[in-house]
Amino acid sequence: MTLFAGPVFEMAKRQFHIIADHLEIPVDERERLLMPKRAIAVSCPIHMDDGRTAVFQGFRVQHHLTLGPAKGGTRFSANVDLGEIAALAIWMSWKCALAELPYGGGKGGVAVDPLSLSLRELENLSRRYMEEMIPFVGPRTDIMAPDMGTNEQVMAWFMDTYSMNKGVTIPEIVTGKPVGSGGTLGRREATGHGVAFLAFRALDRLGIEPSRATAIIQGFGNVGSHAALGLAARGVRVTGISDHTIALYDARGLDVKAAAAYAARHGVLKGFADAAAVSPRDLLTLPCDVLAPCAVERVIDGEIAAKLQCRVIAEGANGPTTPEADEALAQRKEIFVVPDILCNAGGVIVSYFEWVQDLQQYFWSRDEVMDKLERALDRSWSKVVERAEKDGVSTRTAAMAIGVERVREAKRARGLFP
């Protein structure tokens, strides 16, 4: 019996076994690499505005701690379950290892639709979740960050709750905090900036000028909006954007700055340019140079993959492409995939910079952060592209192989205790 179930966990497992087969990892070593070290499930009771007490389920999974503390975001989403969080923690492990960060993979979540809560209820829940997690996390054990449904404000509440419990301010317990509370310059836009930066690397490789390129972006939250702004800043015509309320397409190009301002004000895209509305599923298969899924898992399935009309898939989201879609994409050599653990690593790389700055209490300029981020992404990009060419494998297989190998080597070197 396994605690971990569901389609997202099955996907992470299947992806791992594809890599383990490629690396010829013996069967008896696989379980130790794949299965999470710790999984924590908590009940979070909070006072609601109407006087009721509501209880929300929360999770945290620490996949491995071999290379350092677990590191990963916290997701507030109605459908979160332990299997999904475990899958996301596993992906964080390969991502951190690929980027050569001194971290294992972690992830957390609460099964709640954050948009259904008032600000006070959201604060109550954020604080209670962190309170429940205090025995299991720490700046040297497990460091949280934002993910879907959470943001800088939630991180500030997490940090304050942890610090109040310890009696001293401990900013390094979370990353993605407001700059005024120990956050770093550049973290807010880091993931989306990285997605755009690597999409440009891919366009360059295909000989496509950014000023002649078009892009479609699914998801318009932290990652999607900054990816769109980053692409538009270098002349890419963003023809499609979407969130959970609406999908918009205009072949002449959408004003992403205005869309970002609208989404910041209203929380959603609905109402921004409703005349341009198209079916959300169709948006993915409309013609474009860069398709950037920046929302949820498993949106590019085998059927969609066969219909794609893009040249580059820049995976801002975690796990947007199913293994069936990967099989279909293997036949479509004209499409270049920048896999999630490479493409969206900008977030955790700058989170690492934030943690380092907090530990040293010595803060860097935005230029310093962005310069170090781009160098780190370039190193990973080169490793992945070279490995894919050398082994004759997909960029996903190459990226994951590098990540899995690093964790495997560290486990081998440290041995098995006791």
What's the min distance (Å) between Cβ of 100 and ligand NAD? 17
Q: From the CB of 192, what's the least distance to ligand NAD, in Å?
A: 8
Instruction: Tell me the one-letter amino acid at 394.
Output: S
Active-site annotation holder among 107, 257, 270, 333: 107
To ligand NAD, the closest distance from the beta carbon of 98 in angstroms equals 13
Which helix (H) or strand (E) element contains residue 39? strand 38-47
Question: From residue 176 to residue 205, what is the string marking binding to ligand NAD with x (rule CB under 6 A)?
Answer: ---------------x--------------
| CA 67 to mean position of chain CA atoms | 20
CA dihedral 264, 268, 270, 271 (to 10 degrees): -30
Cα(first)–Cα(last) distance of the chain, in Å?
A: 25
Q: Would you give the DSSP letter of residue 151? A: -
What are the C-alpha distances in Å from 23 to residues 69, 123, 198? 26, 45, 26
Cα 303 from Cα 189, distance rounded (Å) = 32
**What backbone torsions phi and psi does residue 55 show, to the nearest 5 degrees?**
-115, 130
126 binds ligand NAD (CB under 6 A): no
Residue (108 or 171) nearer to ligand NAD, CB = 108
Sole binder of ligand NAD in the list 66, 93, 318, 322 (CB under 6 A):
318
Q: Quick one: tokens of 98?
A: 């690929």
Q: Applying CB under 6 A, what is the total number of residues that bind ligand NAD?
A: 24
- Determine the Cα–Cα distance for residues 16 and 94; give it in Å rounded to an integer: 10
Segment contacting ligand NAD by CB under 6 A, of 22-30, 178-186, 219-227, 374-382: 219-227
| Neighbouring residues of 383: CB distance < 8 A, sequence distance ≥ 6 | 98, 402
Residue 107 annotated among the catalytic residues of the structure: yes
Would you count residue 98 as binding ligand NAD (CB under 6 A)?
Answer: no
CB-nearest residue to ligand NAD: 221
Give the DSSP letter string of 281-294: HHHTTS--SEEEE-
Report the residue from 241, 296, 300, 398 that binds ligand NAD according to the rule CB under 6 A.
Answer: 296
The nearer residue to ligand NAD, 294 or 401, going by C-beta atoms, is 294
Which window, 135-143, 158-166, 222-230, 385-393, contacts ligand NAD (CB under 6 A)?
222-230
Candidate list 147, 152, 324, 358; residue touching ligand NAD; CB under 6 A? 147
In degrees, rounded to 5, the angle at the alpha carbon of residue 305 between the alpha carbons of residues 299 and 311 is 105
Cis peptide before 418 (omega within 30 of 0): yes
| Total count of residues recorded for the chain | 418
Of the ranges 62-70, 292-300, 302-310, 401-409, which one interacts with ligand NAD (CB under 6 A)?
292-300
- Point out which span in 158-166, 205-213, 294-302, 361-369 binds ligand NAD (CB under 6 A): 294-302
Task: Tell me whether residue 132 is exposed, middle or buried, using C-beta atoms within 10 angstroms of its C-beta: 0 to 12, 13 to 18, 19 or more.
Answer: middle
* Selected range binding ligand NAD among 145-153, 199-207, 321-329, 352-360, rule: CB under 6 A: 145-153
Near ligand NAD by CB under 6 A: residue from 111, 148, 229, 401? 148
Please give the Cα distance from 112 to 58 (Å, whole number): 9
Site for ligand NAD in 261-280 (CB under 6 A): 280
Binding site for ligand NAD (CB under 6 A): 146-149, 191, 218-224, 242-244, 280, 294-296, 316-318, 344, 347
Catalytic residues: 107
